[in-house]
Chains A and B, each alone.
Chain A
Amino acid sequence: MDTVFRIGSTSQTTKARSALQAHSIPSKMVKTDGNASGGCTWGLRIDRRHYYEAADALTKAGIRYEVL
């Protein structure tokens, strides 16, 4: 099972990916569907087993996210 952390722009998402890599958490950069609140955004798909660790890493890196 996968989880997608919606980040926002590609730059922020790539930065987020680097933050996860630093914790050896594999992720894939994915485009998320557009929605009324913001349009297309980018996120990281990760294995759900890494959920808490990934959330913690992103928070510590100061990266805002939304879990889809």
Chain B
Amino acid sequence: MKSSDLLYFDNAATTYPKPPSVLKSIRHALEEAGGNPGRSGHRLSATAATEIYTCREEVAAFFDMPRSEGVVFTQNATYALNTAIFAFAREGGHILLSDMEHNAVFRPVYHLAEEGKISYEVYPTGKNTAEEVARRIRENTCLVIANHASNVCGRILPVAEIGAVCRGRGVPFLVDASQSAGHLPLSMERMGIDALCAPSHKGLYGIQGAGLLLFRDALQPTPLVYGGSGAFSTDPRMPTLLPERLEAGTLPTPAILALRAGLAEVKKRGVSAIAEKIARLEVQLYEGLGNMRGVRLVLPEERGNGVLSFEVEGRSPAALSDALDEVGVALRSGLHCAPLAHRTLGTEASGTLRLSLGFTNTERDCKRFLERLHQILSKNA
């Protein structure tokens, strides 16, 4: 099968294909900015450092954050979320997280609770979410976490409303924007977000190897990793200032410059235009799937970020995913590393089949997917 025949619907795992400018940026990084950023004084190193800083500024502007120094590059979104959670957690504190969280949030919170350092509570989403958060905030609540857009279904949390509650009560607010960055409008300032985490390789169209951790205020979070920062090396402690405090070791210049190129593509198209296109394709998929016998859609009434889950009566999601791969359809089955969300949706037993859209998907892709699925289901009916 030619790669042009592949129907890619696994953009929530990583977007594919990447725009040509992203591929070009990687070559540029290796050829023109191939030095180690922030380590040596020669031009290749200085170019890398300057271009990385420019990327920080562009990321800060994109998420409406006033301080580019608060843009920290991490290995991935999971690493960013862990760092943020550990930074805000305090002994005896209480953390609120939504019932849609990914394990990148749930596991570090659970770990802290298991060690007896914090307690946590899961708040329900779907109706009056901000009120549910407000009702659960206690004297010792040290952090509220929200998954902006679910990686399992189309649920989008009202982050601006939750942010307003948190700001009013003086509780830090952390947003996991893994499935929304680049697909939905986000403003840290207007939405009252204190920290935001996102991968570079999903809706921002960079490549795997870089994540984003954005701190609105000048904090001194405890690092997860210690090591060289390129400056002040006689001090045995990590630097006090961000971003160096949280960036021990060599930064992945190719991944960061790829993120910069991906971000430029997103800005060129416009987040609102991307959101509209994805919403249109979602409708097409929901309608097509809804007309197939035995198909059960998960939360079809909640749409917006291009992620939709479904089940087929009497079919294992894994086996169906495998059959679809045989006919050139890439999607993902299982629990999507989000058992909490599947528990909420009642799909924990075997998970779901998940389709996830990106701005490169087309109406033709969706039509062809529906035809191929229909063929499989008809053949084995």
Contacts and interface: CB of A to CB of B under 8 A. Distances in A.
Contacts of A14: 49-50, 53
Interface in A4-60: 8-12, 14-15, 17-18, 28-31, 34-42
Interface string B198-242: 000000000000000000000000000000011111110001010
Contact of A10 (B53, B57, B234): B53
Contact of A41 (B53, B57, B232): B232
A22 B47 CA distance: 19
Nearest to A13: B49
B348 interface: no
**A interface majority secondary structure:** mixed
Nearest to B47: A29
B69 A11 contact: yes
A38 B235 contact: yes
A31 B40 contact: yes
Contacts of B260: none
Given A10-B53, A12-B241, A29 B46 contact: yes
B41 A15 contact: no
A11 B232 contact: no
Question: Which range holds the interface residue count of chain B?
Answer: 20 to 34
A21 to B, nearest CB: 11
Contacts of A15: 53, 68-69
A18 B243 CA distance: 17
Nearest to B67: A15
A34 B230 contact: no
Contacts of A37: 234
Contacts of A11: 38, 53, 56, 69, 241, 243-244
Given A10-B38, A11-B69, A39-B235, A29 B230 contact: no
B41 A30 contact: yes
A23 B16 CA distance: 42
Given A9-B241, A10-B37, A12-B241, A41 B50 contact: no
Contacts of A40: 230-233
A42 B41 CA distance: 9
Nearest to B234: A39
Contacts of B233: 34, 38-40
B234 A9 contact: no
B50 A39 contact: no
B231 A8 contact: yes
Contacts of B230: 9-10, 40, 42
Interface of B: 37-38, 40-41, 46, 49-50, 53, 56-57, 68-69, 229-235, 239, 241, 243-244
Nearest 10 Cβ contacts at the A-B interface = A39-B233, A31-B41, A10-B38, A14-B53, A39-B234, A10-B49, A38-B232, A9-B231, A9-B244, A29-B46
Given A11-B243, A28-B46, 4 more contacts: A8-B231, A14-B53, A36-B234, A41-B232
